[in-house]
Structure 1
Amino acid sequence: MEHRYVWVTTRRIKPGTLEEFERAWRPAIHPAGLRRAFAYWSEDGSEITGVSVWDSQDACEAWRSSDTERERREVMAPFVVAEQEGFYLGGELTIPGG
């Protein structure tokens, strides 16, 4: 299995703020060391999970502690009700017959 470094954040947002949240959520620059990013929304638009794949844990931590990320989080804050996040090491599973 090829291992990947992954940061996952799930946010519950205030009702009716999905559009504003999306504008605030997208970074203005491409972080160094970021390889891929995915976003998943609940059907009702009240919860968003972001999954980002990084070169290393150090690259992810450098972005997370940057002024740019701090500012982005401040812009998102008015729309966020709750947030859960974590850093993981893992990879894609092989599905038999797939």
Structure 2
Amino acid sequence: MEEHFVWVTTRRIRPGTLEDFEKAWRPAIRPQGMHRALAYWSEDGQEITGVSFWDSKEACESWRASEPEAQRRAAMAPYIVEERDGFYRGRELVIPGGSPG
């Protein structure tokens, strides 16, 4: 079974800033070692959870210590009220019966 390396960040942002935050959230370059990134937001548009999939924890940490990431975080800062993040390892759950979706 394939193992995934995932960085999850949840941010609460200032009301009415989702569109501007999303522009700042997108990195200017594709981070090396990142396979995919997803974003999910609450109905009120004030909480965003980002999920990114990586080759390894080291690849993620290298990106997080990079200058492009520092610039991206500085661009997001005016919109953020609160932030939590964590790095996880895991795999897809196999759920018996039926097909997904």
Give TM-score scaled by structure 2 length: 0.95
Q: Distance in 2 between matches of 1:41 and 1:95?
A: 25
How far apart are 1:2 and its partner, in Å? 1.4
> Is residue 56 from structure 1 mapped to residue 49 from structure 2 by the alignment?
no
One-letter amino acid matched to 1:80: I
TM-score (normalizing by structure 1): 0.97
Which residue does 2:89 correspond to in 1? 89
Match of 1:70 in 2: 70
Kindly state the Cα deviation for residue 36 of structure 1 after the two structures are TM-superposed: 1.1
Structure 1 segments of 4 or more deviating over 3 A? none
Gaps of 5+ in 2: none
Q: Which amino acid aligns with 1:74?
A: A
Take 1:30 and 1:13, find their aligned partners in 2: how far apart are those partners?
Answer: 24
Structure 1 match to 2:7 = 7
CA distance in 2, matches of 1:92, 1:46: 28
% identity of equivalent residues: 68
* Aligned residues between the structures: 98
Partner Cα distance (2:29, 2:69) in 1: 10
**Equivalent residue letter for 2:34:** L
1:71 deviates by: 0.7
Quote the offset at 1:39 in angstroms: 0.5
What is the letter of the counterpart of residue 5 of structure 2? Answer: Y
Counterpart residue number, 2:80: 80
Separation (CA, whole Å) in 2 of partners of 1:22 and 1:38: 12
